[in-house]
Structure 1
Amino acid sequence: MANVSIKADIKVQWPQGQSSFSPGTPEELAIIGVDVLVKALGTDAARSFVMQVFERYAHEHVAATGNTVAHPLKNMPTP
């Protein structure tokens, strides 16, 4: 895995105000992105969008690891 650092200032405008974020790692950036998706689209639409991204790379994960375990988000119970 690559050592990646991110330098970004993200400002999100909402009807109720604004939010500012400064992620430093890919993990922090992903959490911010998912948080914004959920707030903008709702939980179900955000989950669907994220699943599309995971599906795009699922074959690479299986090829690299030989792991054929089902994706954890696919089997999540829906509220």
Structure 2
Amino acid sequence: MANVSIKADIKVQWPQGQSSFSPGTPEELAIIGVDVLVKALGTDAARSFVMQVFERYANEHLAATTNSVAHPLKNAPTL
């Protein structure tokens, strides 16, 4: 797996104000993205979107790893 460093300044405008984020890793960026999705679309729509992303990359992940126990779709709830 490659080492990735992110330099970003994310500003989100909400009716209640503004949020500001500075992720440094892909994991932090993903958490921020999911947080914004949930706030903007609601839990069900955000979950549907994230599941679509996991489905899109599931085969690539399975091909890249020999141990599929930690696969994000394993034991995922059905919608």
TM-score scaled by length of structure 1: 0.84
Deviation sequence 1:23-70 (CA, Å, 0-9, x none): 000000000000000000000000000011111100011112244559
- RMSD over aligned CA atoms reads 2.5
Identify unmatched segments of 5+ residues in structure 1: none
Q: TM-score with structure 2 length normalisation?
A: 0.84
Name segments (4+ residues, structure 1) moved above 3 Å: 66-79
Contact 2:54–2:73 (Cα < 8 Å) also in 1: no
Q: What fraction of aligned residue pairs are identical, expressed as a percent?
A: 92
Q: Tell me how many residue pairs correspond in the alignment.
A: 79
Partner of 1:50: 50
Contact 2:12 2:20 (C-alpha < 8 Å) held by counterparts? yes
Deviates more, 1:20-29 or 1:66-75: 66-75
